[in-house]
Structure 1
Amino acid sequence: MAHIIVVGNEKGGSGKSTTSMHVSTALARMGHRVGTMDLDLRQQSLGRYIENRHAFCAKKGLALAIPAYVNLPDIAPEDVPQGTNINDHRLALAVQSLEPESDFILIDCPGSHTRLSQMAHAMADTLITPLNDSFVDFDLLARTRPEDGSILGPSVYSEMVWSARQTRAQAGLPPIDWIVTRNRLGSQQMHNKRKVGEALGKLSKRIGFRVAPGFSERVIFRELFPRGLTLLDLRDTGTDRLNLSNIAARQEVRDLIKTLNLPGVTVKF
């Protein structure tokens, strides 16, 4: 069976699609068979990313590794098994279509709570939750006391992950390996960075996730989107010399893939 990677939280703008594209492309470039889908049915940033990648490669005559991509199938209500939610059935069919040809299936979730996102989390063998390095995003994971920052309890997203873990346990599936990545870590604001880091460290032990460095705020991520490229593709597209920012960003991708510790994956870039 394919190893399912879900990238999600319930807040937009945290870097989910950037993370999804770099993780799926990195795995494809290392020779793994990768299938993807985007459950943000309105914006579909990951789907657009891969569409742009196909178009750029065709225009330039390049043979870059491209993850497979499928949309959720359209299903007539009368074709849904009795007692089954139509979106559950659509997601299951999409996964089934990718699984025979995939070592990994990556699912990019929307920045909101939906039935599809909830079901995808229950499918996750590995869950990546990108988080902007601020207490605004931290509030998605836990409620804190304003006076001293102490943790009062899990928040809405953590409760959804807990529900997904229970669903998997009842089905006899292995537990979710949950990784929270700290995106947009600033070189300044060291006090805030330290406080967020301490809070994440305490919460990780309480509700069971691993903390990993994510991606810094870099213009290059936005510049590459129209061509469907990642930092790993630059040399293949004629960029002979990488600047220091690009090299650092490439190392961030490498560090994330290593931290994920995915089955059968040896980092080679």
Structure 2
Amino acid sequence: MTAGPAHIIVFANEKGGTGKSTTAVHVAVALASMGRKVGLIDLDRRQKTSARYLENRADTAKRKGIDLPTARYVVLREDSAEALEEALNEIQGDLDFLIIDTPGRDDPLARTMAARAHTLVTPMNDSFVDFDLIGQVDPENFKVKRLSFYSELIFEARKARAKVDGVSIDWVVLRNRVQHQEARNKKRVGDALNELSRRVGFRVVPGLSERVIFRELFPSGLTMLDKAHLPDLAISHVAARQELREMLAGFALPTVNEAMEQSAA
């Protein structure tokens, strides 16, 4: 199974509610805004959140007669390896980036694509409930006791990938939906993440804060980058846009940071 020369970014977390689809769509639009050719496959054919977001975006562009940079997208026709192959064949071509949005549950197709990723992004809320997906901590001192099954799975997938084709999967754990209070808990989670990252080899990148604006934009398919079409340029919106830029820079995708530096100059 191949997906062409595109750099594959897989958003994967076996828990829901981490802002995975919202983040995936914003990354897709950000890359398209830079002139990159972007494709997206939504593996969650029940919810289809990322596909619906891009569908809403296309409808808004058509209704208002405006140009909105976007990504080509495909939804699986069924949950099978054959359907995944079909989706890859349908969307691949001259893409620069292929984004895979996976379901918030244990899913064999998500595991397949995680093993094929160049960049694997695991968004998590800033809590030990979500941290438990990748590691377990001592209840007294909050030190990491052991790896979780998911961390072991990704660790083995990275080793296998390196042996097969020499590619090192860049695993990014994204601290998404960070609240602006409970500083002690935030520090404890951060310390545990840093400790586990040294054991497993993932990178920790700040993600997007919990903001109402992200939920409000879904029906229109707009993103924080579409500032010319947003009704209100509040300070919180400017901060959200800056968070998105910093998150994208943290991913260290090929040629992207250079383009961001040029656009900011």
TM over 0.5: yes
Counterparts of 1:113 and 1:175 in 2: how far apart (Å)? Answer: 23
Counterparts of 1:169 and 1:95 in 2: how far apart (Å)? Answer: 22
Counterparts of 2:122 and 2:69 in 1: how far apart (Å)? Answer: 25
Q: How many residues align?
A: 256
Pair 1:45-2:38 in alignment: no
Pairs within 5 Å for 1:136-215 = 136-215=129-208
Counterparts of 1:173 and 1:99 in 2: how far apart (Å)? Answer: 22
> After alignment, is 245-254 or 86-95 more displaced?
86-95
Give the aligned partner of residue 226 of structure 2: 233
Give the aligned partner of residue 247 of structure 2: 256
Q: CA deviation at 1:30?
A: 0.5
Contact kept in structure 1, 2:9 and 2:98, CA below 8 Å: yes
Pairs within 5 Å for 1:130-141 = 130-141=123-134
Give the aligned partner of residue 36 of structure 1: 40
RMSD between aligned residues: 1.5
Which structure 2 residue ranges, 5 or more long, are not aligned? Answer: none
Paired amino acid for 2:27: V
Give the aligned partner of residue 83 of structure 1: none
* SS at 2:92 equivalent: helix
Paired amino acid for 2:33: R
* SS at 1:9 equivalent: coil
Which structure 1 residue ranges, 5 or more long, are not aligned? Answer: 75-85
Q: CA deviation at 1:109?
A: 0.7
**TM-score under structure 1 normalisation?**
0.91
Give the aligned partner of residue 93 of structure 1: 86
Pair 1:246-2:237 in alignment: yes
Pair 1:117-2:110 in alignment: yes
Counterparts of 2:230 and 2:23 in 1: how far apart (Å)? Answer: 24
Pair 1:11-2:15 in alignment: yes
Contact kept in structure 1, 2:48 and 2:75, CA below 8 Å: no
Q: CA deviation at 1:73?
A: 4.9
Deviations 1:200-230 (A, max 9, x none): 0111111011111111110100000000110
In the superposition, relative to structure 1, how do residues 150 and 101 fare at CA in structure 2: closer, same or farther (>3 Å)? same
Contact kept in structure 1, 2:45 and 2:77, CA below 8 Å: no
**Identity, % of aligned positions:** 48
Partner residue of 1:63 out of 64, 67, 74 = 67
Contact kept in structure 1, 2:10 and 2:120, CA below 8 Å: yes
Counterparts of 1:165 and 1:261 in 2: how far apart (Å)? Answer: 18
Paired amino acid for 1:43: Q
Deviations 1:41-92 (A, max 9, x none): 2101001101111111111111111100012356xxxxxxxxxxx8233223
* SS at 1:178 equivalent: strand
Counterparts of 1:5 and 1:168 in 2: how far apart (Å)? Answer: 15
Partner residue of 2:25 out of 21, 28, 52 = 21
